[in-house]
Amino acid sequence: MELHQNSFKRALRSGQTQIGLWHGLFHPYVTELLSGTGFDWLCLDAEHSPSDHHNLLAQLQVIAAYPVAPVVRTVSDDVSLIKQYLDIGVQTLLIPMVESATQAARIVAATRYPPKGIRGVGSALARASRWNQVSDYLQRCEDELCVLVQVESVPGVQSLDTIANTDGVDGVFFGPSDLAASMGMLGQSSDPKVQQVIVEGIATVRASGKAAGVLTVDAALARKYIEHGATFVAVGLDTSLLVTAATTLAGKFHKS
């Protein structure tokens, strides 16, 4: 059995723009619905949704039948959690609240087996290796792993150059909401000052040879970030899309 190829990682390395959707409605039935809508990637958000690795497993299983890449955002940089996610088959991890190169290096180490890292060896029990049916999984798995770190604070921005240049980090994602809050502008993620920090951050990340990403529901702003070099951009949230569509429909029949 062959090791599953990470098409998302390959696309980022070749500079292909990848348009994504944030997926917080964590039920696998919704995951399958969204998987066929034409996005390049879905962010399965386990940070701000009531999700866990059991639920993520079901989501990964249904998404596997569709030409869309799953990107899993963890709740933290916990090494044990990263191990569980990798073993159930996550190939692209997005780790939130990264603020130093030391933290980034520890995250990378959690995705590598010894002697390169600290990942525990349990491939016989793991879906990732198809329960050891992928004969060279231990030797080759890191080739298909994509490690994305999320910079979303002033300290993170201050350490951005060293974070981006950390060996094993494939890309840096900017979180506008938390970044705005860290800058003293809670709820103002589209403020020009926040935009400028992100644009400058994209340039720093690209100069390191890594991919830069961001989330925004503002289409014009998304295009701006893409023009400045962002290559993986989430342009919507499933929860917001549902609320907006339902509210609009109800409003057509219930006039105030």
* Positions marked active-site: 48
Specify the DSSP class assigned to residue 116.
T
| Separation of alpha carbons 136 and 244, rounded Å | 47
d(CA 250, CA 228): 39
Residues 6 or more apart whose Cβ sits within 8 Å of residue 59? 26, 28, 31, 44, 70
- Measured distance CA(208)–CA(98) in Å, rounded: 17
Residue with tokens 């599953």: 4
The percent of the chain in helix, strand and coil, each rounded to the nearest 5, is: 45, 15, 40
Half-sphere exposure of 142 (CA within 13 A, CB side): 17
Give me the phi and psi of 184, to 5 degrees please: 85, 20
The answer to whether 127 touches 53, Cβ cutoff 8 Å, is no
